[in-house]
Amino acid sequence: SQNFLPFILKQKLKMNNLLLFFMFSWATLRIERGMSIIDSMPLWAAPAIIAREPTSLEEEIKEIRRSGSNKDLDAAPEFEMSDIFYFARRGVESIMDDEVTKRFSAEELESWNLLTRSNYNFHYISLRLTVLWGLGLLIRYGFLLPLRVTLAFTGVGLLVFLTSVVGLLPNGRMKNFLSEKVHLMCYRICVRALTAIITYHDSENKPKNGGICVANHTSPIDVIILASDGCYAMVGQIHGGLMGVIQRSMVKACPHVWFERSEVKDRHLVAKRLSDHVEDKSKLPILIFPEGTCINNTSVMMFKKGSFEIGATVYPVAIKYDPRFGDAFWNSSKFGMVNYLLRMMSSWAIVCSVWYLPPMSREEGEDAVQFANRVKAAIARQGGLVDLLWDGGLKRGKVKDTFKEEQQKLYSKMLVGTQEDRSRS
């Protein structure tokens, strides 16, 4: 990808890389020394505060009744006043710590990484640490940020310009070849712009044409990370502004799947366009994030079944960021895109691992939801993330009443079930 750049630019990049490498190693050493100071202090944040046993509603309530009743269990009444203990305790447990709300805010670190933004319980610790932090601030904002912003503008500018140029060519092998090269090169410049240090694992499983690549979603940077290592057809809604400009010029060079805002609601239309795309083997694999929203990289939430209904081969990819060098999670309710990108570019670095998992297809007798859950479990396992059934949409919306109704049904069975047994005997 760097063959296309003039020699001078190449040298400049080499020097920048070297410089960045030294800065990075020095920063790492300082962070580790800083961490050892903090390790002697009480933990900032522990992963879980309370012990929650995964017992079922029935088991728990039976246990409560057993302990309180000296009567024979068969003759026990259907309802006991102590039954509410179960619901009360579960309720208060979820108030103290629940599995869902903490996924929508940045992961708490065990030790401080010298970025004020990750410092939730800020106490003044020592002069030394404050000096280190100040020095870090100077380097990050005075040196790293301007450098990265320049690279970012270069990368994006080149992407828009070159894809438009390639778009002028007639369709054919030359166009596809050039389009690939252009996309890869520009994404790699963007990767440098973020100082993203990515480790790709199992590249033999990389997605092929006619397939769908699914990955867990933490931030818009996910796209850059994956697209700098392979060529994908993007899927998404057409935006206005700069984003829209980029999208419109990208699609000139190779077929991405962009939807108008109105089309997004029409599930059949979306499914049709996606399946048309995968059937054409000359087109690139589609890249989709089935969670539908950014999650904070400690868990994988419910996958929307749309992409799993199409019947194409699915290539799962797990992306795990190392939060110590910079938290990549985009909390879209807190920060806008520009704010977010600035924060990314003024962190130490973005360090992440990408695993290409072996391709999966829907099996006999498996419906789309089960298939989606299977893929999700594989991604969660590989990335060391918690596999949750909850919908990422809970970030903004309310939970459906059906879950409450399920619990009510279970409990009702306990009350009514005993009556049926009684009438039998």
Query: If binding is defined by CB under 8 A, does position 411 make contact with other proteins?
Result: yes
Query: If binding is defined by CB under 8 A, does position 389 make contact with other proteins?
Result: no
Q: Residue 415: which residues within 8 A CB-CB, separation 6 or more?
A: 78, 79
Nearest residue (CB) to other proteins, 78 versus 266: 78
Tokens read off for 19? 């410089």
Length of the chain: 425
User: Which stretch in 130-138, 139-147, 194-202, 391-399 sits in contact with other proteins by CB under 8 A?
Assistant: 391-399
Smallest distance, Å, CB 74 to other proteins?
16
CA-based R_g, the chain, Å: 26
User: Which stretch in 19-27, 71-79, 152-160, 253-261 sits in contact with other proteins by CB under 8 A?
Assistant: 71-79
Nearest residue (CB) to other proteins, 116 versus 339: 116
Please report, to the nearest 10 degrees, the dihedral formed by the alpha carbons of residues 225, 386, 356, 24 taken in order: 40
- Say how far apart CA 209 and CA 232 lie, in whole Å: 9
Nearest residue (CB) to other proteins, 164 versus 293: 293
Nearest residue (CB) to other proteins, 104 versus 348: 104
Smallest distance, Å, CB 153 to other proteins?
29
**Closest by alpha carbon to 103, among 314, 296, 348, 384?**
296
Which of 90, 181, 248, 343: binder of other proteins (CB under 8 A)? 90
Which of 7, 56, 72, 95: binder of other proteins (CB under 8 A)? 95
Query: If binding is defined by CB under 8 A, does position 29 make contact with other proteins?
Result: no
Query: If binding is defined by CB under 8 A, does position 86 make contact with other proteins?
Result: yes
Burial state string for 102-138 with b = 16 or more CB within 10 A and e = fewer than 16: bbbebbbbebbbbbeebeeeeeeeeeebeebbeebee
Query: If binding is defined by CB under 8 A, does position 59 make contact with other proteins?
Result: no
> 339-358 mask for other proteins (x: CB under 8 A)?
--------------------
Contact 252, 164 (CB under 8 A): yes
Long-range Cβ contacts of 122-125 (<8 Å, 24+ apart): 125/37, 125/38, 125/41
Smallest distance, Å, CB 403 to other proteins?
4
Tokens read off for 333? 């309710």
Report which DSSP code applies to 140.
I
User: Which stretch in 141-149, 188-196, 349-357, 404-412 sits in contact with other proteins by CB under 8 A?
Assistant: 404-412
Smallest distance, Å, CB 104 to other proteins?
10
H or E segment at 317? strand 314-322
User: Which stretch in 18-26, 163-171, 213-221, 413-421 sits in contact with other proteins by CB under 8 A?
Assistant: 413-421
Smallest distance, Å, CB 166 to other proteins?
45
Angstrom distances, CA of residue 191 to CA of 216, 228, 266, 338: 19, 7, 34, 17
Query: If binding is defined by CB under 8 A, does position 40 make contact with other proteins?
Result: no
Nearest residue (CB) to other proteins, 177 versus 335: 335
- Say how far apart CA 286 and CA 257 lie, in whole Å: 8
Report which DSSP code applies to 204.
G
Query: If binding is defined by CB under 8 A, does position 70 make contact with other proteins?
Result: yes
Ramachandran region, residue 384 (left: φ > 0; alpha: ψ -120 to 50; beta: rest):
left
Which of 19, 29, 96, 245: binder of other proteins (CB under 8 A)? 96
Which of 8, 81, 127, 168: binder of other proteins (CB under 8 A)? 81
Query: Side chain identity at 31, as an amino acid letter?
Result: I
Query: If binding is defined by CB under 8 A, does position 56 make contact with other proteins?
Result: no
Nearest residue (CB) to other proteins, 63 versus 279: 63
- Say how far apart CA 326 and CA 340 lie, in whole Å: 12
Residues at the contact surface with other proteins, assessed by CB under 8 A: 42-43, 45-46, 48-51, 63-64, 67-70, 77-79, 81-102, 105, 108, 116-117, 119-122, 390, 394, 398-399, 401, 403-405, 407-409, 411-413, 415-416
